[in-house]
Structure 1
């Protein structure tokens, strides 16, 4: 089993990747979201947009302007949890920055046999698997590069991407998301 390391030790991958950074998000809520200043804005019903001062948005914009792709699929319960509604709201800024975010109902993900853990896959070579506790706290990540793990992550990516629904279309189906 790979060592558990702090997420901060892999942040360089979000600039160093060559072609594609892809994420599967499986949690019903994340502690980091609930602790962010944006959570209070969400609680007040405020919308979120592209923020050029956000380090994440600035990097996504810079990388996508270089021709790289940021993509993710978020699993959503029916009805969405409060944490999932927050992600749908805050994710609009990520989309405006250049990410392609799609959504997939959890029941469909289970039918497809998708993993029940979060991960990033970079350039179909490196998997960064999250270890998250029951309260949504990220305890660390594992860097996995063995061919078997990478192939399974790529297969999950392809299945999820094929069945997921683009953000705008999904949010039109879930009007209570905002």
Structure 2
């Protein structure tokens, strides 16, 4: 089933126990982040003391979900040396952690023997996979999500995520 980006918050709000997210691209060109990325390139950084300035409404949704008891884990498979975009993501990830996400990073060389699905994904409660669909340039495709409820797909996603998570480096220990 194809979904629009506006459908995502409802998917996360429907999660009952877990939501895991695997990211495997070294850069994204998502139009909604273009201004923030350019500002980061010019030296802007989130202030850890100014929580109100962080990425909204995303972090509010994460906090709301974690407060309901849902464990949210994000893992990123990255090439080294990391791309400029990954340095940008890394610099702001402290806000994801502060909102309640657990985040790990895995250098791509340490993932060579892991079987991956063909796209980044979210897996909700170990049974519903929501694939992030991007164009070749890294922007959202239209539609931007593909929902798959097939048990074999959920198992592949869970296996890939857990393998990355086991080998991954916690955010506070991963240096770019």
Same fold (TM over 0.5): yes
Match of 2:172 in 1: 168
Residues 100-126 of structure 1 deviation map (CA, whole Å, 9 limit, x = unaligned): 111001122233233342000000010
Residue correspondences, number:
170
Runs of 4+ more than 6 Å apart = none
Residue equivalent to 1:143: 147
SS in 2 for 1:47: coil
CA positional deviation for 1:7: 2.4
Corresponding residue for 1:125? 127
Aligned to 1:44: 42
**Deviation at residue 129 of structure 1 after TM alignment:** 0.9
> Does residue 1:81 correspond to 2:83, yes or no?
yes
Given that 1:20 and 1:69 are in contact with CA atoms closer than 8 Å, whether structure 2 keeps it comes out as yes
Once residues 78 and 105 of structure 1 are traced to their aligned partners in structure 2, the CA distance between those partners, rounded to angstroms, is 7
Find 2:110's aligned residue among 108, 111, 121: 108
Residues 114 and 160 of structure 1 are in contact (CA less than 8 Å); yes or no, is this contact kept in structure 2?
Answer: no
Match of 2:101 in 1: 99
Q: In 1, are the aligned partners of 2:116 and 2:157 still within 8 Å (CA)?
A: no
Structure-2 residue corresponding to 1:154: 158
Q: What is the alpha-carbon distance in structure 2 between the residues aligned to residue 159 and residue 35 of structure 1?
A: 29
Deviation, 1:5, is: 2.8
Whether 1:20 aligns to 2:18 is yes
TM-score by length of structure 2 reads: 0.87
More displaced, 95-104 or 64-73?
Answer: 64-73
| Deviations 1:12-33 (CA, angstroms, capped at 9, x unpaired) | 1111211111000011111127
Unaligned 5+ segments in structure 1 are none
Structure 2 segments unaligned to the other structure (5+ residues) = none
Structure 2 equivalent of residue 4 of structure 1: 2
